[in-house]
Structures are given as structure tokens and as C-alpha cells.
Amino acid sequence: MSADAIRTILNEFPGEIERGPGATAEEIANCERELGVRFVGSFSDYLQTSGWLRVGTSEIYGLGENIPLWRRLKEMTLSERTEMYPPLPPYLVTFYNDGFGNQHCLDSRVVVDGEQRIVFWNHEAGPDQTPEPIASSFADWLRQLIAAERESD
């Protein structure tokens, strides 16, 4: 999947997605360094293109200026790694809380076809869980979210 997938999705669903202006290369590099990960593929494209998103009632964490604390990717990931139980492992980056304490996360360990998979971190499963894969890329996950939001309308 092309890293331009996020731009394509945003163009396909005008008016359904609220977005930020995008994060700077410096903001992205600082976040990667502080979290100890590297963003690639459609997740990197998301940060550069939008910075943050709101799809219906769903808010997706991000980077950039003037983002409320509860929507900041770096801060929310660090909080989930250090203040919550079970703590997120260092290879996961949370970008979405499902409202029940579970996290949808970027798995930074493996890149397949230029993409990092998206996994589900269950807050009730304990620290030794193996996160369940839910999408092969952030772009695929975003399409699933848009579809779910449309069904709930």
C-alpha cells in the first residue's frame, strides 16, 4: 500500500473527517526519538498530512500544534506505558482508545510491504498478552473505522 493512502482516504470522505494541519518533520522525529520507535508507511503519512483526526465520534491521537493533552500521541503512549495497567510494551504506540480502556496501537517491531500492522491491546488481558492484529496498516484501520462510524449513524 502506498504511503499516499491517507491522502486518498481524506479525499474520498470529504466532510466526514475533521483533521489537523499535519505535524512537522521535527515534531515527528522528536516523537520517534522519545518513544524509541520509527513511523513508516501510512502512519507516517497520517502524521505528516493530518497530525490528528476525528471521524464521527472517534478521536485519533496525533502530533502538531494546539492539540489537547488527551489527543497527543506521545503523551498518551507514555502514559499507557508508565501509568496504566497493564503497561504497554515499548514497541507499541497507542493512537486510539476504544472508550473501554483498550488501545488500538501501531506495532513498531515489523515492517511488511512498507507498513506497520495495527494491534489491539486489551486492558483486561494482563502484561504478558500477545496483542491481536486488527489491520495490516493504519490506512486499512482508518477505512474500518470510517465504515464503523457510518454504520452507527
What whole-number distance in Å separates Cα of residue 11 and Cα of residue 7? 6
Nearest partner of 42 among 112, 140, 123, judged by Cα: 140
pLDDT in the model for residue 43: 96
Q: What is the pLDDT of residue 153?
A: 64
Average pLDDT, the chain: 92
Average pLDDT over residues 9-25: 86
Inform me whether the pLDDT recorded for 1 exceeds 60. no
- More confident call, 106 vs 10: 106
Grid cell in block for residue 29: 522525529
**CATH number, position 130:** 3.40.1580.10
How would you classify residue 64: left for phi > 0, otherwise alpha for psi between -120 and 50, otherwise beta? left
Cα distances (angstroms) measured from residue 72 to each of 30, 76, 84, 149: 13, 6, 16, 22
Place of cell 522525529: 29
pLDDT in tens, 70-101: 899 999 999 999 999 999 999 999 999 999 99
pLDDT band at 4 (very low <50, low <70, confident <90, very high): confident
Residues spanned by the domain of 77? 5-152
Instruction: Please state the pTM of the whole predicted model.
Output: 0.93
Is the CB of residue 71 less than 8 Å from the CB of residue 56? no
pLDDT at 138 over 90: yes
Q: How many domains does the chain have?
A: 1
* DSSP result, 5-41: HHHHHHHHSTTTEEE-----HHHHHHHHHHHT----H
Distance CA 120, CA 134 (A): 6
pLDDT at residue 7 greater than cutoff 90? no
